[in-house]
Amino acid sequence: MRKVKEVLRLKLDARLSHEQIAAALQISKGVVTKYVGLAAAAGLDWPALESLDDVTLERRLLASPEKPRDHVQPDFGRIHQELRRKGMTLMLLWEEYRAEYAERQTYGYSQFCENYRRFARQLKRSMRQVHRGGEKLFIDFAGPTVPLADGARAHIYVSAMGASSYTFACATERETMVDWLESTARALAFYGGVPALIVPDNPRALIAEANRYEPRANDTVLDFARHYGTSFLPARPYHPQDKAKAESAVQVVERWIIARLRHQRFASVHEVDRAIAPLLQRLNERPFQKLPGSRASAFAQLDAPALSPLPAQRYELATFKTVKAHIDYHVEIDQHRYSVPHALVGQSLEARITRTTVELLHRGQRVACHARSSRAGGFSTVSEHMPAAHRAHREWSPQRLIDWGQRIGPATAEVITRLLAEHKHPEHGYRACLGLLSLAKRYGQPRLEAACMLALQLGAFKYRHVRDILVNHRDQSAPAPARDWVSPDHAHVRGPGYYQ
């Protein structure tokens, strides 16, 4: 347009011929004729042209006269919000627009889309991404911290839903993995549901390997995601545009919450939390500048219906450790030993350790679960984990052996009782008792009962004594008849007369 304006200046002001103008500007005479004719048709002389800028001159010379438009204008602000719903398309919104104004003149689909894109370009850069309702939760920590009375500082955790920008903020002592996950659990409880994806930055507290193509979260973070039925999708390293929602939410929290706390003095992180709560509510209820509604209303319409339900129990922080089942089918964790099924001896297991429990996993399957114990050097053993022989040995007790003998007969029970009583520790007599009871399999219970009765009469009740009685068939011989004893005559026997 600068050259067109120069053509008109040379013609209308300098009064040069078409040939002279064409030679001076290195254009054809036809072009000179064209624009001189357009200026004459528009009724423009040089004083009027001189004050016009390029845009106005182009419109006056080249634009065709606009026809009056009476199309119904769509509510593009509402359309922009509706597009954030899962499954929503511009085609569907255009059909609803046509149906709503069926009696009036409406835009065709292509013009409808062009007008919407023109509207979207007027919004902020961070609003150009289209986030589906309930799809993503963006999390981050604010840069500024809040000073405490003891010299420490409270760190501010911030999260925002992708579709509605509904924001949550809370104070933590540090920015460790525990703080990240505890704050995220609080955020999910605040939203009342679980999104499909959680998008953090690449903090070392959460991401074990910040790879651009295959980032790997640590085991505790993956366990958190499994508990809530969601997934962590870290942003690319050094690409803050991947989590523009989080960056925007952090900026808003810094301006509307942290800045308002700068004159207050806090003794603890809990006091900071209590001060944040009312400011957070005001922030979420504050109306948007260019879109209808607020963060709270947009969340109720877009994100809340699409969130998955929360699990019945809140996540309990767990750590993971690789352990090996020793020959005694126990693994050692914090100097305490926990049993696993004996078939896993020599296998490497994964221990999931919480504040109250110890779970042992083999190839992703839970094989044992124990209450966590702080007793160093102690054992936590489940009977089902033991081999059958070990379990039987563990279940032995003095009373059980006596009851076993009682089923054979009272003499057998009495012999077992005496065998156990003659040792300081009853366990030392277990093998003798078991050997005694095993004689019933070879000789039968009636013979064993008779042999035990004879052994009691003889005062010889050890295992080998009863065994010899059975081997020699002493239990089957008829007992000698009892006779009255008569003292023999002897010189040394004084007799009853001596004491008269």
* Cβ proximity of 142 and 158 under 8 Å: yes
Q: What is the mean pLDDT of the chain?
A: 84
- The H or E element spanning position 370 is strand 365-371
d(CA 97, CA 89) in angstroms, rounded, equals 13
Q: Do the Cβ atoms of 413 and 406 come closer than 8 Å?
A: yes
Neighbours of 250 (CB within 10 A): 25
- pLDDT of 143-196, one tens digit each? 889 999 998 999 999 999 988 889 999 999 998 988 999 999 999 999 999 999
The pLDDT tens digits for 191-223 are 999 999 998 887 887 876 666 656 667 788 888
Provide the pLDDT for residue 126.
46
> What tokens does 478 get?
């008829």
Q: Model confidence over 419-462: pLDDT tens digits?
A: 888 877 676 677 788 888 889 888 999 999 999 998 888 888 78
Neighbours of 318 (CB within 10 A): 19
For residue 356, what is the enclosing H or E element?
Answer: none
pLDDT tens digits, residue range 356-392?
888 898 887 888 999 888 888 888 888 888 887 666 6
Domain ranges, ordered by start, for the chain: 2-62, 76-122, 136-306, 319-387, 396-476
The residue among 412, 449, 409, 454 whose CA lies nearest residue 433 is: 412
Q: Are strands 319-324 and 348-353 parallel, antiparallel or unpaired?
A: antiparallel
CA angle 478, 484, 487 (to 5 degrees): 125
Residue 162 phi, psi (nearest 5):
-65, -45
| Amino acid identity at 279 | L
Cβ pair 246, 140 in contact under 8 A = yes
Alpha helices in 294-342 (DSSP H): 295-298
List the end-to-end C-alpha distance of the chain, in Å, as a whole number: 165
Q: What is the DSSP string of 395-406?
A: H--HHHHHHHHH
With 60 as the cut, is the pLDDT of residue 405 above it? Answer: yes
For residue 65, pLDDT beyond 60? no
Predicted local distance difference test score (pLDDT) of residue 427: 67
Tell me how far apart the alpha carbons of residues 345 and 483 are, in angstroms, rounded to a whole number.
Answer: 67
Rounded alpha-carbon distances, angstroms, from residue 447 to 50, 113, 468: 136, 103, 12
The per-residue pLDDT for 42 is: 81
Helix (H) or strand (E) holding 60: helix 54-62
318 pLDDT more than 60? yes
pLDDT surpassing 70 at residue 224: yes
The values of phi and psi at residue 170, to 5°, are -155, 165
Q: Is the pLDDT of residue 482 over 80?
A: no
Structure-token match 């199309």, residue found: 71
Nearest partner of 353 among 362, 361, 345, judged by Cα: 361
pLDDT number for residue 32: 87
Query: Which amino acid is located at 251 in the chain?
Result: Q
Partnered with residue 28 across adjacent β-strands are none
Prediction pTM value: 0.54
Contact 3, 25 (CB under 8 A): yes
Distance CA 315, CA 183 (A): 11
Tell me the CATH architecture of domain 136-306.
Answer: 2-Layer Sandwich (3.30)
Categorise residue 435: left if φ over 0, alpha if ψ from -120 to 50, beta otherwise. alpha
Q: Which DSSP symbol is given to 299?
A: I
Residues 6+ apart with CB under 8 A from 120: 76, 80, 127, 128
Which two three-digit tokens encode residue 267? Answer: 């003794």
Tell me the C-alpha to C-alpha distance, in Å, between residue 446 and each of 246, 347, 437, 442, 455: 86, 49, 12, 11, 14
Confidence of residue 127 (pLDDT cuts 50, 70, 90): very low
Distance (Å, whole) CA 334 – CA 49:
89
DSSP β-bridge partners for residue 232: 198
Between the CA of residue 427 and those of 198, 386, 413, 421, what are the distances in Å?
A: 59, 20, 17, 10
Give the Cα separation of 451 and 443 in Å (integer): 10
